[in-house]
Structure 1
Amino acid sequence: MIHRKNSTWTSSSLSLSRCEDRRNSVISALEKAAVFLEDQYKEINIDAAVGYCLMQAYLSATLDKWASEPGLDSERKRVALLDEKVLPLIEKAKQALNQKDPAYSGAFFPSLSPGFWKVPHQWTQTVPSFPFSPTNGSCLDLKTSDSCISFLLGTRGKRGKSCLVPDGCRSIMTKAHCSGYSLSHQLFYFLFAEMKGCSDPLFHNAQYYKSAFCHLMMQSNLNIKKRALFHDFGDLFTENILFCGMAGFSDFYKPQWLDLILNWQKQDKGCFWMYESSMTTKESQRVKRSEKILPGECSAHNTAVAVGAIGGFLYYGF
């Protein structure tokens, strides 16, 4: 009987130790990513800026969550310092973007404001039997995605009115059987609408669409992992985790998936690189959001989705 108690205690201690190690690894990764932002805030693109905003939202929510949890004083202090560091850097990046490309970047500026991104407080999981199946169809280009999102944000259209849903956006954002980046941007559109509190009838069925999209995105991730396609689709794999995590699907927060993302970080720079080798300009165009390759093989898009996803892992817990 004593032996059983000791075994249980040892197993529990090891589990707690693993959680602590993983938590500190995540915080360390985010600290390195903050150093990269500090060095490159003048050069990052709008994607990276949004990614860091998502990261910051998770840092703030993590601090609130940990406020009543004992034994996390050291980690809480590190996250608080990180949060304080990232906020002004995001504002500097926003100002730099405004100087370089005010027309394009300005369309997304509302999403760079503190408090815009609200993390989930309730969780669900994908449904394996959902009546949708993945395909190889690309149905949404970058220009259309940006346009539809800007209508929601009020940076396009009549007199700055937000939450507008043109018929073309209503149709394409609910099209079934899209895949890849098209699929993740359909979900991203619904997340923007949720953050803005849009009340258009389209969003009355938002949970249905989020469930459908994340079902397909889970199938995509499982296929990427099974076929070891990370060198080609590591950014999509991570983007799916980021967006579906933000949508409240906890089964995307798999510890082994976190380990993959952490291994893509360049330890000396803090950025992320998920590609097999150096990307040419032509290769970079396959990314369905804007990409920018920074010195030292640092990818703006890879870094954007990675810091947001890792922030979600920290908030959800281990």
Structure 2
Amino acid sequence: MWAYFVCLTLLCSPTAHGSYGNDLIGLQDWQSKILDSIESTITHYLNENDEVINANLMLGVSIMKGQLMSCVNKPARSRKSFELMKRWYAINKVTNKLYEKFYRTNITEPKITKKILDPELWTSSKEIIHSTHHLPINEADMDSSVVEDLFFQNVSDTCILELLTSCRPSAKCIRSELEDNFLGYALTHQVLYIHILKKMNCIKSSVHIILDGFTQDKCNTMFNEAMYIVGDSNVFNDYKDLFIEQIAVCGMENMVDFIRPEWLLVLMSLQNQQGCFQSGDDNQSCDLHLAGVSLAALGVYWKFVCFKNNKIINKG
């Protein structure tokens, strides 16, 4: 699951350092398709009953919107770029309607809820970061992570709630959220915690560079996990949700190695014609959590293509 909510098969070689521009050439024509996919999902849930919309979905929506806000195309110089900007604003409009729909029936802890669903909380800088890859992940590692996830989820939820309510991180939470040797969802939760810790300025800015190092180390491990998951169809069937969440979380932190055209194709293949994302082979099955992480990942991909189109300098 995503960290928090109150009472909350394709194998490719590692990207070489400095190949950010080359990798995204294949994504240049995907900007409109990514917006199509996002709009289809948002529209699908706008047409669902109010009770269907939950916090897991809306957290993904918020990260997606924050990522779209992180890069806006330069003033239109062509009909194509003008049309893209029109689409951007149209999606922003329908996304706001989905927020309204959610808040009509979800009024528990409104101040806390609105804090974590504020898209501004989920915006990124423009500094592109490359991973450094470590030892590969194996099946035994993945199996052990399932046991750790259940324990760590409760710890992480409590620690994120602590930030949202008081912005005063306890020593216990700092220790657990920066601890090494975790895998799976525990890692994505840790990165989300560090992101909130920094964005809300709950810790001195002089410490941010140290926290950036922890984030990069954790995303390095997640990249190795993602490579293992997507490289085996049986493993992917069990861990597709985690794989997409890893793209969303580390892509939000501008880890460019997670931005691969073939991984985008894997992600979009899970969306059916109705616009929802399927956890199984049943064309009628719609998974809210999978939809949430997928929207977040789509927002991440759009941001990187936008960076490329705007010729933002790679500082990585």
Q: TM-score range by the shorter chain?
A: 0.7 to 0.9
1:122-158 CA distance string (max 9 Å, x none) = 11111125x897843416433221110011112xxxx
Aligned length: 273
Alignment of 1:1-318 (within 5 A): 19=27, 21-40=29-48, 41-62=50-71, 64-67=72-75, 70=78, 71-98=80-107, 102-103=108-109, 107-129=112-134, 135=141, 136-137=144-145, 138=148, 140-154=151-165, 161-162=166-167, 164-200=168-204, 203=208, 205-228=210-233, 229-268=235-274, 270-275=275-280, 296-317=284-305
Q: Runs of 5+ in structure 1 lacking a partner?
A: 1-14, 155-160, 279-295
C-alpha separation between the residues in 1 aligned to 2:302 and 2:99? 20
Q: CA deviation at 1:21?
A: 4.0
C-alpha separation between the residues in 2 aligned to 1:261 and 1:114? 22
If asked which structure has higher relative contact order (CA below 8 Å, sep 6+), I would say 2
Aligned amino acid, residue 131 of structure 2: T
Aligned amino acid, residue 54 of structure 1: I
Instruction: Indicate the residue corresponding to 2:3 in structure 1.
Output: none
1:56-80 CA distance string (max 9 Å, x none) = 1223334x23436644111221121
Aligned amino acid, residue 105 of structure 2: A
C-alpha separation between the residues in 2 aligned to 1:78 and 1:236? 29
**In terms of Rg, which structure is larger?**
1
Q: CA RMSD in A?
A: 2.7
Q: CA deviation at 1:189?
A: 0.7
Larger CA deviation: 111-120 vs 186-195:
111-120
C-alpha separation between the residues in 2 aligned to 1:215 and 1:17? 24
| TM-score computed with the length of structure 1 as normaliser | 0.77
| TM-score computed with the length of structure 2 as normaliser | 0.78
Alpha carbons 1:231, 1:276 under 8 Å: kept: no
**Residues 61 and 42 from structure 1, CA distance in 2 versus in 1: closer, same or farther, beyond 3 angstroms?**
farther
Q: Quick one: percent identity of the two aligned structures?
A: 21
C-alpha separation between the residues in 2 aligned to 1:189 and 1:239? 14
1:32-69 CA distance string (max 9 Å, x none) = 0111231235422211111101111223334x234366
